[in-house]
Amino acid sequence: MHPDFQGSDLRLRPPHESRVTTDFVTSIMDKFLKRKSMTDLSPPILKKDCRDQVQPTSLPSHPEVNLTDLPADPGLRIQISNYHPNDQDEIRRTYLQRGPCQPRNHNFPKTKFGKKLRRFNPSWFNEYGSWLEYSIIKDAAFCLCCYLFRLDNYREQAGSDSFVIEGFTNWKKNERFEIHVGGPSSVHNQAYRACQDLLNQKQHIQTVFSKQSDQVRREYRVRLNASIDCIRFILQRGLAFRGHDESEDSKDKGNFLELLQFLANHNESIKKFVLQNAPENLKLTAPDIQKDIVNAAAT
| HSE (side-chain half, CA atoms, 13 Å) at 219 | 16
pTM of the full predicted structure? 0.49
**Regarding predicted confidence, which is higher, 285 or 159?**
285
pLDDT digits (tens, 9 = 90+) for 36-77: 444 444 444 434 443 344 444 444 556 788 898 999 999 999
pLDDT at 271: 86
pLDDT digits (tens, 9 = 90+) for 196-235: 988 886 666 666 666 667 778 888 888 888 889 899 999 9
